[in-house]
DNA sequence: GCCCTCTTTTAAAACGTTTAAGTTCATTTT
DNA sequence: AAAATGAACTTAAACGTTTTAAAAGAGGGC
């Protein structure tokens, strides 16, 4: 059905090889024949068969992007920026969301091994995925380059990592709250790294976090809401809370407001990420900016370098982005 | 480097065909040899080459999903639901966001023609993309099935369409505002279909929309914010506004609040879509639910039917989902 | 007319599968 | 004992490119 090189060859009265060479712009074929062939290809509405080409070129011009979910502004922005970069190099991205399921990630790893992609980016998947690190290293050894985004791996030579200083982000958030005069802080979410950032900011001022002010809720808005409800129900509340991310922060605020606890008058709330909504929420959200678009772009750039066989600078093997406090209306001075 | 059927064949002392048959579970090969072959394949860590398989099977087990942007809760949810469905059939999705650029869509159409996907879904792209409808029809005739989601096409036999009754959604929104006692309505966004829904709800009550209450701003939060600022600056404001989508509604509310115009006390605002944030915003947003996940799933289901050569019922060629008013706190009775 | 060189074209292998059409050999049928 | 059947396996073509090595042709110099 579809037009092939052979069809063009017959019509042009030349061999298939000449057609291939001509269409790929080889300078070994006569200019006139080249033009004639191109014209015929145009007429016949020829499109090279990507599947056949992939087989011989050993490349699909496609990368895999593994993220927990697209329905999450942070990952959506990451996906967008990665897609934008690779598209500029004529690559495509296969969307691989795992929904935080370990088996799903496994399925993707196996798919990658089959050569359906030329490389892959794995973004922050939580600790449960750590068990796959060995498999991913195997993948890399089988010549499918991988780069990590905000995910811990041991072997930066094999798997470059692009990350933000998430520990420092939490530190900045807590430190700012302390500077506003808050002493009794809370933390919402499960993240060892962030929690320890908060703790060390407190420690620097001779303060501590109370165990009962730590809420290990689910890392989405619903989780934040649940934590907010529990806080609202307490007599003696924390004065300010740091949330794992902006979505949780919004959930917390929404729950507090629903229970008539005023933000920031009664409790200051700060998020992490600086998603777009942080600026449009009411009250607008004080947060720590994570330059996710830049991170995505850098990760894509590094991956493309690996795919095209370029060598990486040491810095590119462990690329860390700074974070920045963004002050808005969900926090106030005591 | 990578293990092939041939390697296994040699090691097992059989022909390559037998190996292929055995691994694909054919019952034409002796049980013992089958097991022996499978064991060897396992030992050698064999993974079938997806590129080679794609060539002979004329299928990549991949579909393309064309959306304007991922960074948009509506499309993110659409993408997620589509991905979930096709994944259950062992397919993958290539993320094709156009950023509302017509040329980008064109590039994707050409990529699809090259056989890199087995089918594609095109989601609501606005009127500027209409020029591609003919090309997309050509694509379908070249045996790449397509289904539209909330996008107008003429030929439902060739291109099935899954949509929500967006006209009715706007009608419901306006009708509800009228029932609350509002007479002087506004509309924000560019959408012929939605605007006419609003107009006809008004007409039914002998009312009309004033031209100066229509704001043709850009369909994102920033656009909503811009419109909200303009409204806040007016002396005689509309009593209530219908927004093209929830994001715009949030932008409008944020601008109004920033200018000390109370929502809903002074102006009622209603959105369309019912994104997750609508429920978590403050005030929570009255909106009209568009069942985007269901739409995505249905579109994926229909596309898979076409890919696997099943015939569609007439209903599936034009599948329309009902919308539903969701009353929250951004509207109030006069 | 012959040898060289240079340009242009072609044949054929390769990529790694799937699968239709054999072949072989043991077993059953007549 | 010859013929038919059937199970188990193999051969080889096919998928549509790319690419290398070889062939063919065109001039040029002697």
Q: Number of A:B CB contacts under 8 A?
A: 145
Q: Which residue has the tokens 């780069």?
A: A147
Instruction: Tell whether B134 lies on the interface with A, counting CB pairs under 8 A.
Output: no
pLDDT tens-digit profile of B137-158?
999 999 999 999 999 888 899 9
Tokens of B251: 């932008």
Q: Is B26 (CB) below 7 Å from strand D?
A: no
Q: How many Å from the CA of B195 to C1' of C26?
A: 80
C-alpha–C-alpha distance, residues A129 and A103, integer Å: 9
pLDDT tens-digit profile of B220-235?
999 999 999 999 999 9
First to last CA, chain B: 75
The whole-number pLDDT of residue B63 equals 98
CATH of region A55-164+292-321: 3.40.50.2300
- In the predicted structure, residue A127 carries a pLDDT above the cut 80: no
Long-range contacts of B49-54 (CB under 8 A, 24+ apart): B49/A55, B49/A114, B49/A115, B49/B2, B49/B4, B50/A111, B50/A114, B50/A115, B50/A116, B51/A51, B51/A54, B51/A55, B51/A58, B51/A60, B51/A115, B51/A116, B52/A55, B54/A51, B54/A54, B54/A55
Q: Do domains A5-46 and A166-290 have the same CATH topology?
A: no
> May I ask the CATH architecture of the domain A5-46?
Orthogonal Bundle (1.10)
Closest CA to A63 of A97, A36, A35, A95: A95
**Residue A115 to residue B73, Cβ atoms within 8 A:** no
Question: What's chain B's average pLDDT?
Answer: 95
Portion 258-297 of B in contact with A at CB < 8 A: 276-277, 280-284
Q: Is A5 (CB) below 7 Å from strand D?
A: yes
Q: Which of B51, B104, B262 would you mutate first to test chain A, the one with the most A CBs within 10 A? A: B51
**Residue B80 to residue A71, Cβ atoms within 8 A:** yes
- In the predicted structure, residue B179 carries a pLDDT above the cut 90: yes
The whole-number pLDDT of residue A300 equals 98
Q: Is B56 (CB) below 7 Å from strand C?
A: yes
Tokens of B162: 């899954």
- In the predicted structure, residue B126 carries a pLDDT above the cut 80: no
The whole-number pLDDT of residue A275 equals 97
- Calculate the dihedral angle through the C-alpha atoms of A273, A279, A281, A283, rounding to the nearest 10 degrees: 100
Q: Is A2 (CB) below 7 Å from strand D?
A: yes
Q: Which sequence spans correspond to the domains of chain B?
A: 5-46, 55-164+292-321, 166-290
Mean pLDDT for A132-148 is: 95
Mean pLDDT for A195-217 is: 96
The whole-number pLDDT of residue B5 equals 97
Q: How many CA atoms lie within 13 A of A242 on its CB side?
A: 35
Mean pLDDT for A203-219 is: 95
Q: Is B192 (CB) below 7 Å from strand C?
A: no
pLDDT tens-digit profile of A255-281?
999 999 999 999 999 999 999 999 999
Portion 190-249 of B in contact with A at CB < 8 A: 221, 225
Closest CA to A219 of A247, A260, A183: A247
The whole-number pLDDT of residue A9 equals 95
The whole-number pLDDT of residue A155 equals 87
Q: How many Å from the CA of A82 to C1' of C26?
A: 62
Q: Is A50 (CB) below 7 Å from strand C?
A: no
Portion 35-94 of A in contact with B at CB < 8 A: 47-52, 54-55, 58, 60, 62, 65, 69-73, 76-77, 79-80, 83-84, 92-94
Q: Which residue has the tokens 């989405």?
A: A220
Portion 136-175 of B in contact with A at CB < 8 A: 142-143
C-alpha–C-alpha distance, residues A271 and A286, integer Å: 6
pLDDT tens-digit profile of B193-215?
999 999 999 999 999 999 999 99
Mean pLDDT for A291-299 is: 98
Question: What's chain A's average pLDDT?
Answer: 95
Q: Which residues contact A251 (CB under 8 A, 6 or more apart)?
A: A220, A221, A222, A223, A224, A225, A226, A227, A228, B280
Q: Is A35 (CB) below 7 Å from strand C?
A: no
CATH 3.40.50.2300 fits B166-290, yes or no: yes
Closest CA to A330 of A201, A177, A219: A177
pLDDT tens-digit profile of A11-52?
999 999 999 999 998 888 999 999 999 999 999 999 999 999
C-beta atoms surrounding B149 within 10 Å:
28
**Residue A142 to residue B1, Cβ atoms within 8 A:** yes
Mean pLDDT for A211-240 is: 96
pLDDT tens-digit profile of B279-321?
999 999 999 999 999 999 999 999 999 999 999 999 999 999 9
**Residue A76 to residue B76, Cβ atoms within 8 A:** yes
**Residue A94 to residue B97, Cβ atoms within 8 A:** no
The whole-number pLDDT of residue B80 equals 97
Task: Pick B115's closest partner by Cβ from A51, A65, A111.
Answer: A51
For residue A275, count CB atoms less than 10 angstroms from its CB and return exposed for 0-12, middle for 13-18, buried for 19 or more: buried
C-beta atoms surrounding B171 within 10 Å:
23
Q: Which of A53, A67, A70 would you mutate first to test chain B, the one with the most B CBs within 10 A? A: A70
């Amino acid at each position: 059905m579809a037009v092939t090189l052979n069809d063009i060859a017959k019509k042009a009265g030349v061999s298939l090889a000449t057609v291939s060479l001509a269409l790929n712009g080889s300078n070994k074929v006569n200019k006139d024949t080249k033009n004639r062939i191109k014209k015929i290809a145009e007429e016949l509405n020829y499109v090279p068969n990507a599947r056949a080409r992939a087989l011989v070129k050993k490349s699909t011009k496609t990368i895999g992007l593994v993220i927990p979910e697209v329905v999450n502004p942070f990952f959506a922005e990451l996906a967008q920026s990665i897609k934008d970069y690779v598209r500029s190099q004529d690559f495509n991205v296969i969307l691989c969301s795992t929904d935080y399921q370990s088996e799903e990630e496994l399925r993707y790893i196996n798919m990658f091994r089959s050569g359906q992609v030329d490389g892959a980016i794995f973004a922050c998947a939580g600790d449960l995925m750590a068990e796959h690190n060995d498999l991913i290293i195997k993948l890399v050894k089988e010549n499918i380059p991988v780069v990590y985004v905000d995910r811990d791996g041991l072997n930066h030579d094999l798997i470059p990592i692009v990350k933000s200083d998430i520990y420092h982000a939490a530190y900045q958030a807590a430190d700012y709250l302390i500077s506003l005069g808050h002493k009794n802080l809370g933390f919402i979410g499960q993240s060892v790294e962030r929690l320890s950032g908060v703790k060390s900011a407190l420690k620097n001022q001779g303060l501590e976090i109370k165990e009962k002010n730590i809420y290990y809720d689910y890392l989405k808005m619903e989780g934040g809401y649940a934590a907010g409800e529990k806080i609202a129900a307490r007599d003696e509340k924390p004065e300010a809370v740091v949330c794992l991310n902006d979505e949780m922060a919004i959930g917390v605020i929404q729950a507090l407001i629903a229970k008539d606890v005023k933000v920031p008058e009664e409790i200051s709330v700060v998020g992490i990420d600086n998603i777009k909504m942080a600026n449009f929420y009411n009250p607008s959200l004080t947060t720590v900016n994570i330059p996710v678009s830049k991170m995505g772009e850098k990760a894509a750039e590094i991956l493309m370098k690996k795919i095209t066989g370029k060598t990486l600078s040491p810095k590119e093997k462990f690329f860390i982005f700074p974070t920045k406090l963004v002050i808005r209306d969900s926090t106030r001075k005591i």
